[in-house]
């Protein structure tokens, strides 16, 4: 098997699964309970929070556990919008956000908020000047994805954060689901107020995520019923998931220090080799792009047909993001970058992990080169 769909989800590390199983079985108490089992579970949750905070160089009080990226984005965006609506109802985001952010903004528009969707250039990148021009007296939130989940485009988060530091009434939210452990980001230096991450994107287990909430930032809760997670996110905490996430984050951060060059090498090989295959066009930017995501189009072939043909060889890639892959319309992200509807409707995403080998990339390229000529007749 050659798994090249790591931006959709990653296979949990064996050590992470063992941690998850042990905590689930041995520390099953509700961390809100006052008896010994509950206190032991609460202790583990506290340690996991501190361990994650240490990796991100923030305070443990600033880590809030969630169920994943979608909840984290919804909580950050809606929580800010509804908490600060008396100050203003203008929000700023981009045309290339993940669906969990983009659709949240659409819902807020229906509820009377005004949203500015910043355009991007041909590389999928926003302009710092456009961000500055969009800010108004009534602006309360700017929300921008760090690494685009479809193309790997890296946004100038640190520069935007420095700009927004001159507008104290504006909160800055960053969706770092695809960037964390792959593309370095200093949360404090970038002046970020809220940051979303999800464990299953870095070899943790699904159903667990975190939202960094800078000390002093207030959110209106979106889930009610208890006082868990600093009274912001009600519900019995997923202790095993949190502990497993802390371990997965530490492991992947260590790999990032040692194996970043390996990912860069594989990414470079794909960027240079794919265009040599007849019919293939690269959509990802050649510079300022994450080292684990490559997007390309084969305009003469239906993407689902190409994906299934590769699957038959036990090579697994995807179209768009996993959340939108079953939608038939062209990629909203690629259209925003100026790609034509044919290219945007035939895009394939290859996404790597630190475990991906050069041999696997060689096999993928070889099989792709064989498969494309046999499928050219299977047109849209």
Domain boundaries, the chain: 2-8+258-375, 14-250
Q: Which fold has domain 2-8+258-375?
A: 3.90.1150
Q: Which of 323, 335, 363, 375 is catalytic?
A: 323
- pLDDT for res 4: 98
pLDDT beneath 50, residues of the chain = 324-325, 378-380
Angle between helices 14-26 and 239-273 (to 10 degrees): 170
- pLDDT for res 378: 46
- Residue-wise pLDDT tens digits, 135-173: 999 999 999 999 999 999 999 999 999 999 999 999 999
- pLDDT for res 38: 87
- pLDDT for res 230: 82
Nearest to 72 by CA among 105, 107, 100: 100
Q: Select the CATH number that applies to the domain covering 14-250 from these four: 3.40.50.720, 3.40.50.150, 3.10.20.30, 3.40.640.10.
A: 3.40.640.10
Task: Kindly report the pTM of this predicted structure.
Answer: 0.94
- Residue whose tokens read 């038959």: 312
| Helix ranges, the chain (H) | 14-26, 36-56, 69-83, 99-110, 128-134, 157-164, 228-232, 239-273, 303-311, 332-336, 341-344, 358-375
Domains 2-8+258-375 and 14-250 share a fold: no
Is residue 323 part of the annotated active site? The answer reads: yes
Nearest to 338 by CA among 93, 92, 7, 96: 96
Give 66's DSSP letter. E
């Amino acid at each position: 098997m050659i798994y090249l769909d790591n931006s959709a989800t990653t296979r949990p590390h064996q050590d992470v699964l063992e941690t998850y199983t042990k905590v689930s079985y041995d520390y099953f108490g509700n961390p809100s309970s006052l008896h010994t089992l509950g206190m032991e579970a609460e202790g583990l949750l506290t340690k996991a929070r501190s361990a994650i905070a240490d990796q991100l160089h923030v305070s443990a009080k600033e880590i809030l556990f969630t169920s994943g990226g979608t909840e984290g984005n919804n909580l950050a965006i809606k929580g800010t919008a509804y908490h600060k609506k008396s100050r203003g109802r203008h929000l700023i985001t981009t045309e290339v956000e993940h669906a969990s952010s983009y659709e949240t903004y659409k819902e807020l528009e229906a509820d009377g908020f005004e949203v500015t969707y910043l355009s991007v250039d041909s590389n999928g990148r926003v302009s710092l000047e456009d961000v500055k021009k969009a800010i108004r007296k009534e602006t309360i939130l700017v929300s921008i994805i760090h690494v685009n989940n479809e193309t790997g485009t890296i946004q100038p988060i640190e520069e935007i954060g420095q700009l927004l530091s001159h507008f104290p009434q504006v909160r800055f939210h960053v969706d770092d689901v695809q960037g964390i452990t792959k593309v370095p980001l200093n949360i404090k230096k970038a002046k970020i107020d809220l940051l979303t991450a999800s464990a299953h994107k870095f070899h943790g287990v699904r159903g667990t995520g975190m939202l960094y909430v800078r000390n002093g930032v207030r959110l209106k809760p979106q889930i009610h019923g208890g006082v868990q997670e600093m009274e912001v996110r009600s519900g019995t905490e997923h202790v095993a998931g949190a502990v497993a996430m802390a371990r997965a984050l530490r492991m992947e951060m260590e790999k990032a220090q040692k194996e970043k060059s390996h990912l860069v090498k594989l990414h470079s090989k794909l960027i240079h080799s794919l265009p040599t295959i007849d019919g293939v066009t690269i959509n990802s930017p050649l510079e300022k792009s994450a080292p684990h995501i490559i997007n390309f189009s084969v305009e003469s072939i239906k993407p689902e047909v190409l994906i299934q043909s590769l699957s038959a060889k036990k090579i697994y890639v995807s179209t768009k993001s996993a959340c939108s892959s079953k939608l038939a319309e062209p990629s909203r992200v690629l259209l925003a970058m100026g790609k034509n509807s044919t290219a945007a409707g035939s895009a394939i995403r290859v996404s790597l992990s630190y475990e991906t080998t050069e041999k696997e990339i060689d096999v993928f390229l070889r099989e792709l080169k064989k498969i494309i000529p046999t499928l050219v007749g299977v047109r849209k």
